[in-house]
């Protein structure tokens, strides 16, 4: 069938989509979401078909920018359109939909087609949903990780040991990575760290690190920094390490499911060549893992998956019931990390977690981990290493804590009664910081003055909320009025919840 090209000034997000009139589609025998092949001269492309009865006339084909560029099409040109087969990978998605287990070849074909843009959003969603519904076993997870890693870029570095760390997240103010990377690198071990930005939290490691240095490096720049310093702190988003992951995450978001959590993490670790990995699993009330048993189960899965991927994995189960340190929000957290590594300020939980995880990692490579950590911490070489990394990534290596600016607008929250801080609600703190402008506004955040167990007097200041604009400050104030992130009570009070019949029903 010959059709006249109409260029549609819209981008379908990687997937090649063409739009045809209902009538022509029927004539061709292809339905909406089926596939058509478009030929222009010697060039050919297969696209997902959408049909319409009004936007595109009979005899026309609407072509989005991606395909127009690929086939060098101009509006008004004639192309030859024929019915095409669905990609073979859809058979594998159907197999998973019937509860079957997929092997490496099948998973690789799916991932290849996802990355090449050969699958429609419906098909990708069906795959992710089927993985969620039927579960993904450890074999499938490992094979999928391998497939996701192989379809992306990878970092090749010649080092005796390449190590990495990962946190499953969920703890506000967790600036551990900003301290672990310089400690490990200062101890002479390579740690090519990539991090994510905040999704539902106040700040991700990439957001924090960006306060001190550029983090949008490409793979070559990242490699150069690692070669010079043994470490780096870059944003994983532009590196194209496991591009299928970003596409899967997009459909997981509205459904709040993440069957691909483990493959997503492990594929990226494999891509940077990690041989030793510590996974930080915070647990407890308000953390992602509610109980220590749940945390142990996840740890076992990480370790088993690592063994299938030639990555030696240890896990650190950590207290996740309250924020780490006193500062929440990108700029405030970067400041606290800098103060701590300069040993200007003592923040015991931040220091303990960073040193603990660094020691595990170094021990895995055969060193006396705790001793090595103490050495580079106390002799200032961890701080020096952080400044080297800042310099190599293009930041100011002389940066001081007081140089870091945060929101000009703020308000204090005070204790309404005397007592002890019984609980700090991680989720409420994150919501409050986000209302104040985090993670987009790096200067937004929360400065805590009290942690769980601390005594407070009535009217005493509990925390300050910072914002970059008066408008967002107002939003944060409104949120603050209805949410109490700190529960003050008597340390002898045992009954803390009262569940009524209505709540149970």
DSSP-assigned beta bridge partners for residue 412: 464
Contact between 55 and a second copy per CB under 8 A: yes
Q: How far apart are CB 328 and a second copy at their closest, in Å?
A: 17
Q: How far apart are CB 58 and a second copy at their closest, in Å?
A: 13
Burial 269-304 (b: 16+ CB within 10 A, else e): bbbbbbbbbbbbbbbbebbbbeeeeebeebbebbbb
DSSP annotation string for 129-183: HHHHHH---HHHHHHHHHHHHHTS-------S-BEEEEE----TT--HHHHHHHH
CB closer to a second copy out of 299 and 436: 436
- Coil/strand/helix, residue 451: coil
Q: How far apart are CB 83 and a second copy at their closest, in Å?
A: 11
- Between 138-150 and 292-308, two packed helices, what is the crossing angle to 10 degrees? 60
- List the one residue out of 115, 109, 196 whose CA is nearest residue 152: 115
Gap between the Cα atoms of 313 and 264, Å rounded: 15
CB closer to a second copy out of 256 and 500: 256
Q: How far apart are CB 494 and a second copy at their closest, in Å?
A: 33
Q: How far apart are CB 34 and a second copy at their closest, in Å?
A: 7
* Contact residue for a second copy among 33, 303, 367, 422 (CB under 8 A): 33
Gap between the Cα atoms of 91 and 33, Å rounded: 15
CB closer to a second copy out of 87 and 173: 87
Q: How far apart are CB 268 and a second copy at their closest, in Å?
A: 20
| Residues 77-96 as x/- pattern, contact with a second copy by CB under 8 A | ---------x---x--xx--
354 burial (CB, 10 Å; 0-12 / 13-18 / 19+) is buried
CB closer to a second copy out of 19 and 277: 19
Q: Which stretch binds a second copy (CB under 8 A): 253-261, 293-301, 309-317, 485-493?
A: 253-261
Question: Parallel, antiparallel, or unpaired: how do β-strands 312-319 and 445-448 relate?
Answer: unpaired
* Contact residue for a second copy among 417, 440, 455, 458 (CB under 8 A): 440
Gap between the Cα atoms of 267 and 166, Å rounded: 12
> Using CB under 8 A, which residues numbered 96 to 135 contact a second copy?
97, 99, 120-123, 125-126, 129-130, 132-134
Cis-peptide into 439, omega within 30 deg: yes
Contact between 253 and a second copy per CB under 8 A: yes
Size of the site for a second copy (CB under 8 A): 46
CB closer to a second copy out of 126 and 413: 126
Residues 6 or more apart in contact with residue 500 via CB below 8 angstroms: none
> Using CB under 8 A, which residues numbered 170 to 209 contact a second copy?
199
258 is catalytic: yes
* Contact residue for a second copy among 256, 346, 482, 500 (CB under 8 A): 256
Of 22, 240, 246, 258, which one is the catalytic site residue? 258
Tokens 């924090």, located at residue: 208
Q: How far apart are CB 134 and a second copy at their closest, in Å?
A: 6
Gap between the Cα atoms of 295 and 459, Å rounded: 38
Tokens 């409104």, located at residue: 478
CB closer to a second copy out of 128 and 186: 128
Tell me phi and psi for residue 322, to 5 degrees: -145, 170
Q: Which stretch binds a second copy (CB under 8 A): 47-55, 173-181, 412-420, 446-454?
A: 47-55
Which residue numbers are catalytic?
A: 258
Residues that bind a second copy (CB under 8 A): 8-11, 13, 19, 26-27, 29, 31-34, 50, 52, 54-55, 62, 65, 86, 90, 93-94, 97, 99, 120-123, 125-126, 129-130, 132-134, 199, 250-251, 253-257, 434, 440
């Amino acid at each position: 069938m010959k059709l006249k090209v109409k260029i549609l000034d819209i981008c379908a997000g990687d997937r090649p989509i063409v739009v045809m009139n209902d009538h022509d589609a029927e004539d061709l025998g292809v339905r909406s979401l089926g596939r058509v092949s478009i030929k222009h001269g010697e060039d050919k492309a297969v696209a997902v078909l959408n049909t319409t009865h009004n936007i595109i006339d009979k005899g026309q084909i609407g072509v989005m920018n991606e395909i127009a560029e690929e086939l060098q099409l101009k509006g008004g040109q004639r192309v030859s359109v024929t019915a095409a087969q669905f990609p073979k990978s859809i058979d594998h998605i159907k197999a998973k939909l019937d509860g079957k287990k997929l092997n490496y070849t099948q998973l690789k074909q799916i991932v290849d087609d996802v990355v090449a843009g050969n699958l429609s959003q419906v098909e990708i969603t069906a795959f992710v949903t089927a993985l969620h519904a039927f579960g993904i076993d450890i074999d499938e997870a490992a094979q999928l990780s391998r497939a996701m890693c192989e379809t992306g870029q990878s970092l090749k570095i010649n080092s005796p040991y390449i190590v990495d760390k990962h946190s499953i997240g969920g703890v506000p103010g967790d600036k551990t990575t900003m301290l672990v990377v310089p400690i490990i690198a200062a101890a002479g071990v390579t740690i090519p760290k990539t991090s994510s930005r905040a999704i539902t939290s106040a700040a991700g490691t990439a957001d924090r690190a960006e306060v001190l240095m550029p983090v949008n490096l490409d793979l070559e720049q990242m490699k150069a920094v690692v070669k010079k310093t043994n470490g780096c702190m870059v944003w994983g988003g532009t590196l194209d390490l496991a591009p299928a992951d970003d596409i899967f995450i997009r459909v997981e978001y509205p459904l709040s499911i993440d069957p691909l959590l483990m493959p997503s993490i492990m594929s990226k670790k494999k891509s940077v060549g990690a041989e030793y990995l510590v996974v930080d699993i915070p647990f407890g009330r308000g953390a992602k893992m509610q109980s220590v048993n749940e945390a142990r189960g996840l740890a076992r899965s990480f370790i088993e998956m690592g063994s299938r991927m030639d990555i030696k994995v240890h896990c650190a189960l950590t207290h996740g019931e309250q924020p780490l340190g006193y500062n929440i929000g990108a700029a405030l957290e970067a400041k606290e990390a800098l103060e701590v590594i300069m040993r200007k300020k003592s923040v015991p939980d931040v220091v303990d977690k960073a040193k603990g995880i660094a020691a595990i990692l170094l021990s895995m490579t055969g060193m006396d981990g705790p001793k090595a950590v103490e050495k580079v911490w106390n002799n200032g070489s961890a701080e020096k290493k952080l400044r080297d990394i800042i310099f190599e990534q293009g930041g100011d290596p002389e940066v001081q804590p007081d140089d870091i600016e945060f929101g000009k607008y703020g308000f204090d929250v005070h204790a309404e009664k005397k007592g002890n801080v019984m609980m700090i609600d991680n989720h409420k703190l994150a919501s409050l910081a986000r209302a104040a402008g985090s993670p987009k506004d790096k200067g937004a955040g929360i400065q805590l003055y009290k942690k769980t167990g601390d005594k407070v007097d009535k009217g005493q200041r509990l925390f300050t909320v910072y914002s970059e604009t008066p408008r967002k400050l107002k939003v944060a104030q409104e949120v603050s009025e209805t949410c109490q992130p700190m529960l003050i009570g008597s340390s002898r009070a045992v009954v803390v919840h009262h569940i009524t019949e209505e709540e149970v029903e």
